[in-house]
Structure 1
Amino acid sequence: MIQAIGLTSNPRKDLPPAVDDVSFQAHTGRVTAVLGASGGGKTTTLRLMLELQQGRGVTYFRGRELHRIAHPSREVGVLLGDVPGHPARTVRGHLRMLCAAVGAPVTRADDVLEGVGLVSLREQRLGTLSRGMDRRLGLACALLADPHTLVLDEPTGSLSAREGDWLHGILRAHAARGGTVLFTTDDAKEAARTADRVITLDAGRLVADQDAAEFARTRLRPRVAVRTPHAARLAALIAKEARSLRRSVEVVQEGGSRLSVYGSTCGEVGEAAFRHGILVHQLADEVGDADHAAADARERAPVEQGRSAALEAAPGAQSGPAVRQGPVSSAACASGEPRESLKAAVATPTHDTVAERSPATGGASAASGTDGATSSTASAPRTASAPRASSEPCASSAPRASSAPQAPPSPLPPPIALRTAPNPLRPLRYELRRATGVGTGYLTVAVAIASSALLCLFLARTGRTPQLHLLAAWPSELPLPPAALGAGLLGALAFGEEFRHPALAADRGTVPRRLGLLAAKLAVAATTALLLAGLTVGCDALLLHLVYGGELAEVPSDWLSATVSWISLMIGCAWAGVLAAGVFRSTTAGLAAVLAVPIVVVPLVQKALEGPSVRSAAGFPGRLRELTLVEWPFGAERYVAGGLRMVAQPVGSALMLSLAALLGAYLLTAGRRRAR
């Protein structure tokens, strides 16, 4: 069950808030639709409920606020907009990656693929999916953790009628199993046909909360659609016969050859046309036009008479026929077309409107009407001790008549703090599937190895490069070898792709900065850099042996110390890419930080050490090597010597300094976001 109480968005400069004091309930086992025109506040309401947008109010999901739920994805499945994800990732790979994020077994991906009918497309890339298949995949992502509640924003937008019926069937089945379903739509006919309860918003304010049957009766009117070349003549004849029989029939000429007849049937209209010899091209029953006559009557009714007086002006109370000229749009038009009648529908208040609100601190249920409509008005004062009934029309700006004294206003609803992005429950498995699910990493490794091999052959031909730099393909003219740049790029992709294709937190535009995810990314980046370091040296040595013989491919005497230094350089570049991309939210920034180490940081460090001083650090590398004379267990002094050798080099010391600065910046930004 969902209970939304007092949802109000923050004011927008000189404009009123997009959502103003909206309260409603969505019951378990039922499908609830939030109806409103484009810009009416539907999406903002959902974002306030899900704590994705700052504002005021509180929303309970089965009695708990979302930020107090340990694993929100297991309680609420969300579909807002298109499915985020790397376009080169397969459907099955994307779901398996999300399985690790929500803590579900990997077999769950195949189960939901079968449930949404995407088994045959499981190897298709996300970038090639059609709109209908994308909606199916989005629903699969929402169902992945088997949540109790589904919250969807216009799930049938731009879908065909067949696809829309299928999707609503899935939602109905989820509600029948004891779940809660809440979706938004701008089609009044769709809401009446597919939902159990309809919540109507207009300009960000709640104007009705009704059962679907009551909504269809009070806000949608059955009509007979007629198309004839003699529309004016047939309209006059139908109106004349209705007056003679003292029946309430309304005929609307919608322009051209089309008529809409309210209060009659297809048989009666067809018989009238046959009796007078009028040719009819179309004759069909339709439901979906707004109750314009009732709206006009309610506007003419005195405000002091309340909702009961407005109810007396309903369509059944008319004493004679009415013929209105001019086009009237239908709410049953095709999806994506403007619906003028919908705007009239959401602006028409209904009877039995009751606004009930509990104190924000009490945690009571939200406002809800029983069978009629429910309205919640932000401008009305809120009582701190008891709910208050309201009987003024929702869209009226006339003075309100009230005999009871008004209670002093209570404090505003509690502010909504933005909920942080969810951390993957299995971060290491998630990172492995993210890194191996697309070909970018494989391509980067292949390019780095090929570049190193070609550069190694060129350096061997000149004969001016030492053997250790030759095996690493690192000429003195380059700030870093190609393999180190490749490791840095792989590390930058770890966070860069998260921000570019945010599968974890598409609605926030960011990714979680938890230490668990950072540790997983650093571990995977270090492993990838280690493999790349070994493949690069192995391929270079093999190529030198094949082309120039075994002399250049001989193992150097200090191979262990050189290996530790090489591995440290590769892992340091990879980690610098990970941290920089996480801080600056860009792959390009991550790679730029790796390049900045030898180009910017090294000269700055050298310049700082060259300045005048009382004491000098000359001989520091030698004194570091003296530490290795100590007896270490298992011969570890050789590994320590390699690490110290790397640190003693200008690039190594600058890289260590850069890693420390980037780690501090990452922890600082993560702490600030968590404090908010």
Structure 2
Amino acid sequence: MLRVIQAFGLTSAPRKDLPPAVEDVSFEARAGHVTALLGAPGAGKTTVLRLMLELQEGRGITCFKGRPLHRIPHPSHEVGVLLGDVPGHPARTVRGHLRMLCAAAGAPARRADEVLEAVGLVSLRDERLGTLSRSMDRRLGLACALLPDPHTLVLDEPAEGLSLREGRWLHGMLRAHAARGGTVLFTTADAKEAARTADRVVTLDGGRLVADQEAADFARTRLRPRVVVRSPHAARLAAVLAREARTAHRSVEVVSEEGNRLSVYGSTCADIGETAFRHGILVHQLADETGDMGPKAATTPLGGPVAADAPPAPGTAPAADQARQSHPGARPTAGSPPAQDAPPRAPAKAAEAARAPGAPEPPATPSSGTSSGTSSPLPPPICVRPAPSPLRPLRYELRRVAGIGTGFLTGAVVLVTSVLTAVLAARIGHTPQARLLAAWPRQLPLPPAALGAGLLGALAFGDEFRHPALAADRGTVPRRLGLLTAKLAVAGAIALALAFLTVGCDAEVLYVMYGREVAQVPADWLALGAGWVGLVTGCAWAGVLAAGVFRSTTAGLAAVLAVPVVVVPLVQKALEGPAVRTAAGFQVRMREVFLLQWPFGGDRYLVAAARVIAQPVGGALTLSLSALLCAYLLTTLRSRAR
């Protein structure tokens, strides 16, 4: 049978003087099986998954079908991931959220409707993410993981917070995926859930692997049937039960717990009830139960002081766990059950194969490890690599922008503010005609349209790309030229529409309020229009680039405001002072040079562009865009080099 997931020597990076959260964890999950990673809260289950997905630095190797994740061309098509809650804008609809992820993962848009039907969310496809309940959120998380139709599912606490009925439905979905030949690995803190739903159970405790068993062996050695007894005379009843067991030579184990409660292994309700009746001991509760022995099973003598989660009697299978926990580096004895043995560590050849970029794939079956007396080499380091671009960046960006009402609300606020500013400036007077149509009084550093375009540009690099479904693709905003080009194109189109709508609305309102004279179009409208479009588009691009460089919307908006407040005074100060030469006659010489090449008067556009750049704001904006673009490219090259 093909072993799909192989994890060797997973070890997290230690923090300061603290030991690593996960140390030397090795296991495997096979195709067509459901594997449960079991452990109490804080045992290291989520850290193991993050190391496997190369989302956290450390050491070790994890092979999916014989290849590390970073050597798979499109990891999200191979591994579907659910880590934590489902993030997303609370105003985005369920269907819109999935369609946006379809564009990022390269899946067709109809796939969103297919997974909605599979997880039972068709009736809620138009609901907002902020209104979903906990159970619906987990269904949506599973839908995101199934979106690229992956072969392997890696889920962190998928049934957390679900009711019993919803949990059965979820595990039925996982079982169906495994029945189709897929691989399922999920974490849980409930031993009964692991035994009931998984084919194999891998147990962690304190960041170490303590057991790797088939589900039947796990249930037999850890989930033992017991009788729960509550009595105000629990100590006396425990002593009586222990004495009668020794007299009858029966294997009965009595465990004292809190609240006058006893757990009796190896007996029945009828025997315990008869014993309590014969000795006149009052019993408040007597019921059969399946007990969780816990990963750290420690045996105690019969009738002696016992712990709350005692193990089987000496000589039974869990004694191997006790020996292994006392001596983590020791080999299991010949008498220990094979289901308790953890998988061996990765051989040095497999480690070198995974480390070298062009090396052959590691073997499907791990070897038996190094011989005693020889130190095994350290596993290769796990590096957090940058994310690839969305497979369809332009489609992703369009759905990201149009999926929520932030852009439309910002545009409406900009238009209203611009109209009010233009009307107020016309009433006060002393504002040139061109600035009046743009609603840009001299007292304002930037017009409302430029500020709105910069804000929308800064919002382009938010947290919209951080989704658990794309965790296999590193799940964060990538610095890639494809995504940057898409964001610049969409931001530029929005800024262009905002610029034209602002001037149109201002002119119409001014005409209604004050007549044709105030709303008259200036004679040099071509150069002024080019400058206006360049200003608004440049502010939008400055917001995109600054937010992409600093990974912050606030930094993007601050970069837009810094152009008129900081950069323009610096440019004006640099241009002050005596000039040796001037650019007099520039327009005439441009016409002479480009007259033959531009027979249709194209030199006018070049002259208009030159005049825009020659303006203080235009020059400062050009310098800012150039600096931000260089910084973005530098960070991109550095991330690729790393």
State the partner residue of 2:9.
Answer: 6
CA contact (8 A) 1:471 1:537 kept: yes
- CA distance 1:157–1:419, shift in 2 (3 Å): same
Q: Equivalent residues in 2 for 1:360-371 (5 A)?
A: 360-362=351-353, 363-365=361-363
Deviating more after overlay: 321-330 vs 11-20: 321-330
State the partner residue of 1:131.
Answer: 134
Specify which of 603, 614, 617 is matched with residue 569 of structure 2: 603
State the partner residue of 2:424.
Answer: 458
TM-score (norm 2): 0.88
Deviation at 1:57, TM superposition (A): 1.6
The count of corresponding residues between Structure 1 and Structure 2 is 609
State the partner residue of 2:458.
Answer: 492
State the partner residue of 1:426.
Answer: 392
- CA distance 1:512–1:565, shift in 2 (3 Å): same
> In percent, how many aligned pairs have the same letter?
69
Q: Which runs of 5+ in 1 are unaligned?
A: 298-320, 332-342, 369-385, 390-403
Question: How big is each residue's C-alpha offset from its partner over 1:9-51, in whole Å with a ceiling of 9 and x where there is no partner?
Answer: 2233323222222211100011111122332222221111111
Specify which of 205, 210, 233 is matched with residue 207 of structure 1: 210
CA contact (8 A) 1:100 1:430 kept: yes
State the partner residue of 2:94.
Answer: 91
- CA distance 1:7–1:487, shift in 2 (3 Å): same
Deviation at 1:239, TM superposition (A): 3.0
CA contact (8 A) 1:449 1:483 kept: yes
State the partner residue of 2:317.
Answer: none
Q: Equivalent residues in 2 for 1:5-404 (5 A)?
A: 5-273=8-276, 280-290=283-293, 295-296=298-299, 322-325=302-305, 328=308, 347=325, 351-352=337-338, 353=341, 356=344, 357-359=346-348, 360-362=351-353, 363-365=361-363, 387-388=368-369
State the partner residue of 2:584.
Answer: 619
Deviating more after overlay: 143-152 vs 416-425: 416-425
Question: How big is each residue's C-alpha offset from its partner over 1:398-438, in whole Å with a ceiling of 9 and x where there is no partner?
Answer: xxxxxx8623x353222222122232111111101111111
Deviating more after overlay: 244-253 vs 143-152: 244-253
CA distance in 2, matches of 1:209, 1:366: 18
Amino acid corresponding to residue 434 of structure 1 in structure 2? R
Question: How big is each residue's C-alpha offset from its partner over 1:333-389, in whole Å with a ceiling of 9 and x where there is no partner?
Answer: xxxxxxxxxx98995886433653322225545887xxxxxxxxxxxxxxxxx6337
- CA distance 1:32–1:506, shift in 2 (3 Å): closer
Amino acid corresponding to residue 502 of structure 2 in structure 1? T
CA contact (8 A) 1:358 1:366 kept: no
Matched, 1:406 2:373: yes
- CA distance 1:501–1:447, shift in 2 (3 Å): farther
CA distance in 2, matches of 1:346, 1:491: 57
Specify which of 422, 443, 448 is matched with residue 414 of structure 2: 448
Deviating more after overlay: 255-264 vs 136-145: 255-264
Deviation at 1:154, TM superposition (A): 1.9
- CA distance 1:12–1:161, shift in 2 (3 Å): same
What secondary structure sits across from 1:483 in the alignment?
helix
What secondary structure sits across from 2:55 in the alignment?
coil
CA distance in 1, matches of 2:369, 2:56: 28
Q: Equivalent residues in 2 for 1:585-600 (5 A)?
A: 585-600=551-566
CA contact (8 A) 1:6 1:21 kept: yes
Deviating more after overlay: 600-609 vs 508-517: 508-517
TM-score (norm 1): 0.83
Q: Which runs of 5+ in 2 are unaligned?
A: 312-320, 327-331, 354-360
Deviation at 1:88, TM superposition (A): 1.9
Deviating more after overlay: 454-463 vs 8-17: 8-17
Amino acid corresponding to residue 187 of structure 1 in structure 2? D
What secondary structure sits across from 2:502 in the alignment?
helix
Question: How big is each residue's C-alpha offset from its partner over 1:627-651, in whole Å with a ceiling of 9 and x where there is no partner?
Answer: 7862515443333333222112111
State the partner residue of 2:607.
Answer: 641
What secondary structure sits across from 2:299 in the alignment?
helix
- CA distance 1:226–1:406, shift in 2 (3 Å): same
What secondary structure sits across from 1:288 in the alignment?
strand
Specify which of 603, 614, 625 is matched with residue 659 of structure 1: 625
Q: Equivalent residues in 2 for 1:464-613 (5 A)?
A: 464-498=430-464, 510-611=476-577
CA contact (8 A) 2:76 2:469 kept: no
Alpha-carbon RMSD = 2.9
- CA distance 1:588–1:623, shift in 2 (3 Å): farther
CA distance in 2, matches of 1:63, 1:78: 19
What secondary structure sits across from 1:225 in the alignment?
strand
CA distance in 2, matches of 1:24, 1:654: 58
CA contact (8 A) 2:387 2:475 kept: no
- CA distance 1:481–1:70, shift in 2 (3 Å): same
What secondary structure sits across from 1:600 in the alignment?
helix
